[in-house]
Amino acid sequence: MTRSHVFRAMSFVVLAAVLGAVPSALANSRIMFGEGNDQFDFEGRLSLPAGLTLDPTAQTFVIQLTALDGTVIFRTSIDGGTIRRRGNGYFVFRDGRARAAGGIGKVTFQQVRNSYRTRVRAYGDLSAAQVDMVTEVFVGPQEWSTIGHWEQLTGGWRLRT
């Protein structure tokens, strides 16, 4: 393990302890640069303690990327009451104007045992993206975060954990 990997691992542990967050297990997250607004795709699992469930329908939803020093790189949100229940343990939000105007275009939550598979597509200025970023998701007062080492691509960035 290299010195930088040790630093990232230690930073994650410290961050999770400071924030009191339950880390989410990220799958494929991407940033794609484009004409006008850039696109940020997040896919992860938001874990909950056994027996608890998530009801995002009345909660404010926030997703943000921050640098390790806490500087906000990208942040966007939707108000409580805009996410709709579409079935048992399935919730969705869509805004077709987000690609042009910025903001969240789509959010889905699907319950899988004690977690929620969550997908977000958001648009905005992601030009400050960098190798080490923290992804934070807030649903009302609940928070999940993960730190990752992003790989720079020709047209954006990719994170795989």
Write the CB contacts of 108 (distance below 8 Å, at least 6 apart in sequence).
90, 91, 92, 93, 117, 118, 119
Residue-wise pLDDT tens digits, 81-127: 999 999 999 999 999 999 999 999 999 999 998 899 999 999 999 99
**Do 93 and 104 form a contact (C-beta atoms < 8 A)?**
yes
Whether the pLDDT of residue 47 is over 60: the answer is yes
**Do 29 and 124 form a contact (C-beta atoms < 8 A)?**
no
pTM of the predicted structure, to 2 decimals: 0.83
Please provide residue 53's backbone torsions phi and psi, each rounded to the nearest 5 degrees.
-125, 170
**What does the domain layout of the chain look like in residue ranges?**
3-159
Residue-wise pLDDT tens digits, 59-94: 999 999 999 999 999 999 999 999 999 999 999 999
